[in-house]
Amino acid sequence: MKRRSNSPDVARRNFLKGASLASAAALAAPTAANAIPAPPQPKLKAALPGPLQIAADTQPPNKDPATQATSGGDFMVDVFNTLDIDYLAMNCASSFRGLHEAIINGKNNKIEILTCPHEEIAVAMAHGYAKIEGKPMAMICHGVVGLQHATMAMYNAWCDRVPVYVMGGNIVEANKRMPGAEWVHSAIDIGALTRDFTKWDDQPTTLQHFAESAVRAYKIAMTPPMGPVLLSLDAELQENPIQEAETLRIPKLAKVMPPQGDSGAIAEAAKLLAGAENPVIVCDRLARTPAGLARLVELAETLQCAVIDNAGRMNFPARHPLNMSFRRGPVLSQADVILALEMNDLWGVLNQFSDRIVRSYRQVYKKGAKVVTLGSRDLYQKANYQDFARFQEVDLAIAGDGEASLPALTEAVKRLIDEGRKSAYDARGKKLAAARLAMIEQAKSDATLGWDASPITTARMCAEVYAQIKDEDWSLVGNAIRNVWPLRLWDIKKAYQWNGASGGAGVGYNAPASVGAALANKRHGRLTVAFGGDGDLMFVPGTLWAAAHHRIPLLYVLHNNRAYHQEVMYLTAMAARHGRGVENAHIGTTLTDPNIDYATVAKGFGVYGEGPITDPKELAPAIKRALAVVKRGEPALIDVVTDPR
């Protein structure tokens, strides 16, 4: 396909022509040594032509037109319209100016651009959005420097098995790069930077190649185990006129069906579960859709067994009588069959680790218990980054999507239940339900400790927020590290009322992911709230501007402990190990002197802000005022000065 008029073959001919003319000119030019005096010239009646006129008269016709009627970017927009993508998050960059222009000015575009002041914000917004909406958001950046900004957020999405559709602009052909930024912003292979934590990447060389890779990328991202993908978009391909348009074809995106576990293995697992005295289900990233939640409830209630939820997704209702997530030690110590559903770190659940010099560990589940895994992680792993966690020895490993495989497993279990077993199951369920009720009452009692203290306890912060949203159609989409109170106190039961965590524990996820999730909720009219740490927000404060600019309603409650608190504790542990300087652990770990005024920061970005709130009595009125702002369609931030955890 022809490219620009100065495409390689044409340019080469021009180069040869230029070289011939230069030789002829050299032969014809007089030299000073053998110069012959020129004969007298007749007097001219008109002025001599200027250099521009000479150039116009002597140069070949213009081969570098200034305008064009079509562009590859227009075709790319047509391709995106066939994919189920509603938003493109970006920080603008010249290496994708062709596509950018096609999106904002093309007639057929359906994608809305989200302006983000940092690529990490753009990817994390897409991350949070995908978990609520169940489909990817696209993100585009400079393929070199922008992608470097985006990488940590992409790593989070990889670890969390979330589809994010990332694109990076690049100028592939060296002779097409303008001097300066275009050279330092180009690479032979931009995907090399992120290949360890993307499912797939490609650098299409033609528009037809792009169409096929764009559809392939979507399909791969959405096939469990899901994950981010990357397309490198050549600037020439985006910007130049479409050649041979009649030959271009956009492939159909097929319905993506997740893989199910082997039927024989499912039957074997069902037999183990049905015959167990104390079966236990542990899960992490099970529920991809609302169906996952319902299916897990059905299996657990069929077995009347304990469920330990690592809460990577909204897997199981927080107050369900069988939810033993905060009683995992006693439950695991009595388990004789453990079913692990879409677990990432099963070893971490089944063992207790001592972070001391030897770093020893101890198994916390009963010796001889049978362990069955069902999940899609075994279907796709990479080697370098160690997000697959420590190897756990199991008895039966079923590779298949957990949510898709649950109906077959539940039906297989039901077929094995007779009256005797049903009676035993019911008795088991009653015991667990009684324990669950006691746990809820214990949580409420624990929450009263320090109720009127300042700094404010995290329990009170969470209780005050819940009191004002519990009768609304609410969605909690973000949480500060180790803030267990929503899961202990709140009646979290709908698929969109919990949105998991970052996956990679990369700081700077929570604020933008919450905004992305709030954007997804906006369409459904839900009231979105999030808790977030101050350290996290300081990585990506520009998130607030993006939320204000796009009118994304979200109540962001800042759990402001004025520190990178996990590190305060780690440093304390190191100092204690050495028997020195425990009181110095604040150095390099805290965000004080000066204290940051986040309400003012928020206001500076156009977001409603209140705080710092140190008196717990002032919290409820502040939440009420902020919720009024959110209900009229705007973001709001409350800065709550809290106890560390």
Partner 1 sequence: MIETRSPRARAAALAVAAFILNAAGLGCFGTQARAQDAPPGDAANGRSVYLKVNCFQCHGRAGQGGAMNYPAPPLAKTAMPFEGFKMVVRESMRDMPAYNEAVLADKDLVDIYAFLQSLPDQRPAKDIAILGD
Question: Interface residues with partner 1 (CB under 8 A)?
Answer: 352-356, 358-363, 438, 441-442, 444-451, 453, 455, 457-459, 463-464, 466-467, 470, 482, 484, 489, 491, 565-566, 568-569, 572-573, 575-577, 579-583, 585, 643-645
Cβ atoms 91, 540 nearer than 8 A: no
CB of 536 to partner 1, least distance (A): 17
CB of 432 to partner 1, least distance (A): 15
Cβ atoms 171, 179 nearer than 8 A: no
Comparison of 7 and 572: residue with beta carbon closer to partner 1: 572
For residues 267 and 404, give the distance between their C-alpha atoms in angstroms, rounded to a whole number: 15
CB of 325 to partner 1, least distance (A): 12
Q: Which amino acid is at 561?
A: N
For residues 122 and 141, give the distance between their C-alpha atoms in angstroms, rounded to a whole number: 9
C-alpha distances in angstroms, 138 versus 90, 123, 202, 214, 551?
Answer: 9, 8, 15, 11, 19
Comparison of 114 and 563: residue with beta carbon closer to partner 1: 563
Contacting residues for 507 by C-beta, under 8 A, at least 6 apart: 535, 536, 539, 564
Comparison of 429 and 455: residue with beta carbon closer to partner 1: 455
CB atoms within 10 A of CB 384: 8
Q: Which amino acid is at 452?
A: D
Comparison of 38 and 357: residue with beta carbon closer to partner 1: 357
CB of 367 to partner 1, least distance (A): 12
Comparison of 108 and 354: residue with beta carbon closer to partner 1: 354
Comparison of 441 and 473: residue with beta carbon closer to partner 1: 441
C-alpha count within 13 angstroms, C-beta hemisphere, residue 107: 2
What pairs with residue 201 in β-bridges? 230
Extract the tokens encoding 560: 């402001």
Contacting residues for 194 by C-beta, under 8 A, at least 6 apart: 147, 150, 151, 154, 166, 201, 228, 230
CB of 392 to partner 1, least distance (A): 14
CB atoms within 10 A of CB 606: 14
Q: Nearest 5°: phi and psi at 362?
A: -145, 135
Comparison of 430 and 580: residue with beta carbon closer to partner 1: 580
CB of 101 to partner 1, least distance (A): 49
CB of 627 to partner 1, least distance (A): 15
Comparison of 142 and 562: residue with beta carbon closer to partner 1: 562
CA 480 to chain centre: 17
Extract the tokens encoding 385: 């980054």
Extract the tokens encoding 640: 């709550």
Q: Which of 112, 161, 165, 178 is nearest to 139 (CA)?
A: 165
For residues 597 and 566, give the distance between their C-alpha atoms in angstroms, rounded to a whole number: 21
Comparison of 94 and 392: residue with beta carbon closer to partner 1: 392
Comparison of 247 and 448: residue with beta carbon closer to partner 1: 448
Comparison of 205 and 334: residue with beta carbon closer to partner 1: 334
CB of 585 to partner 1, least distance (A): 6
Comparison of 150 and 480: residue with beta carbon closer to partner 1: 480
CB of 345 to partner 1, least distance (A): 12
For residues 572 and 576, give the distance between their C-alpha atoms in angstroms, rounded to a whole number: 6
CB of 277 to partner 1, least distance (A): 21
Beta strands in 410-563 (DSSP E): 474-478, 527-533, 554-560
CB of 382 to partner 1, least distance (A): 25
Supply the DSSP string of 2-59, one letter for each residue: --STT-HHHHHHHHHHHHHHHHHHHHHS--STT--PPPPPPPPSSPPP-HHHHHHHHS
Comparison of 175 and 445: residue with beta carbon closer to partner 1: 445
Q: Helix (H, G, I), strand (E, B), or coil: what is residue 452? A: coil
Q: Helix (H, G, I), strand (E, B), or coil: what is residue 347? A: helix
CB of 364 to partner 1, least distance (A): 11
For residues 225 and 480, give the distance between their C-alpha atoms in angstroms, rounded to a whole number: 26
Beta-strand relationship, 351-353 and 337-341: unpaired
CB of 121 to partner 1, least distance (A): 28
Beta-strand relationship, 361-363 and 351-353: antiparallel
